[in-house]
Amino acid sequence: MNSEHEHKNQVGARRRPSPFGRIERMPPLTMALYLALLGITVMFLMLVVAYVSARLRSGVPTGLHALPRYFSLSTIVLVVSSYTIAQAPRLYAQDDLGSLGRCLGATLVLGCIFAGLQVLGWRE
């Protein structure tokens, strides 16, 4: 009972928690990282909108050049590689070094395949 009484007598005990409490406790570098990512995303979206609007206004017919098939394959390889590297922290936490080594090796091989497909795609 004493602890409840002491808690009620503390400075700011009756104040409601701030809705920005989680943001206020966030480290400054993490907040800077989130703000930078938000800024980059907004800039990317603005550039895409500007490109599309300029392309549509120019009167150039769309669909003149087909996307090389190697780029489609490299996208699939990149998604699979992202999955394999996303498994690494879990395997490390479980101390499963054999699976971790295979996972990192597969990611390395998939990264090399991705780079090769990119080269082939740009040559096509």
18 pLDDT band, cuts 50/70/90, is: confident
Report yes or no on whether pTM surpasses 0.85. Answer: no
Taking the domains of the chain in order of start, what are their residue ranges?
A: 20-62, 66-124
Least confident segment among 80-84, 105-109, 120-124: 120-124
Sign of the four-CA dihedral 71, 76, 82, 84: negative
| Among 83, 72, 76, 73, residue whose Cα is nearest residue 107 | 83
